[in-house]
């Protein structure tokens, strides 16, 4: 690629992507943004949503559960709280997880468990919406 942007997408579990790309679009807390080669440096917080990686071969969508994006002269790095390629997501499995987590979120017993379940439910519902 003649004019490319070096991009890395890292989650706590693994590095999901590292390479040269044409463009990356990401869900910032202040709005969606795109990064092209030679973009001005900045750092921002990400909200849950889809990162779109534009390569010569097409666009790869990756769902992130928030994190940080850092644009430097060397490229773009996204440190995601959680990330999954949408092509790897099974909608039926997500639907089943939503049902299980909803029951935990409504359990009157354990406040900590209820709070964690409510947070997970927000993530799962956003992931499910991204599949549509």
- Whether residue 85 contacts residue 60, with contact meaning beta carbons closer than 8 Å, is answered with yes
pLDDT one-digit tens code per residue, 89-121: 999 999 999 999 998 888 778 888 888 898 899
- Whether residue 1 contacts residue 22, with contact meaning beta carbons closer than 8 Å, is answered with yes
At residue 2, the pLDDT reads 59
Residue 86 has pLDDT above 50, yes or no: yes
Domain ranges of the chain: 5-86, 89-131
User: What is the topology classification, in CATH, of domain 5-86?
Assistant: ATP Synthase; domain 1 (2.60.15)
Q: Global pTM?
A: 0.88
pLDDT one-digit tens code per residue, 8-57: 999 999 999 999 999 999 999 999 999 999 999 999 999 999 999 999 99
Q: Which of 127, 15, 6, 31 is nearest to 80 (CA)?
A: 15
Helix (H) or strand (E) holding 106: none
Helix (H) or strand (E) holding 36: none
């Amino acid at each position: 690629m003649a004019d490319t942007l070096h991009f890395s997408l890292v989650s706590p579990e693994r590095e999901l992507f590292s390479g040269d790309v044409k463009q990356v679009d990401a869900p910032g807390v202040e709005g969606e943004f795109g990064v092209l080669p030679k973009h001005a440096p900045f750092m921002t917080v990400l909200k849950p949503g889809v990162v779109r990686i534009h390569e010569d071969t097409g666009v790869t969508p990756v769902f992130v559960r928030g994190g940080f994006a850092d644009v430097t002269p060397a490229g773009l790095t996204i440190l995601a709280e959680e990330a999954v390629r949408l092509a790897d997501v099974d909608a039926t499995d997500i639907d089943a997880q939503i049902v299980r987590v909803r029951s935990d979120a409504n359990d009157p017993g354990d406040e900590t468990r209820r709070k964690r379940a409510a947070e997970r439910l927000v993530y799962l519902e956003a992931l499910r919406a991204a599949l549509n």
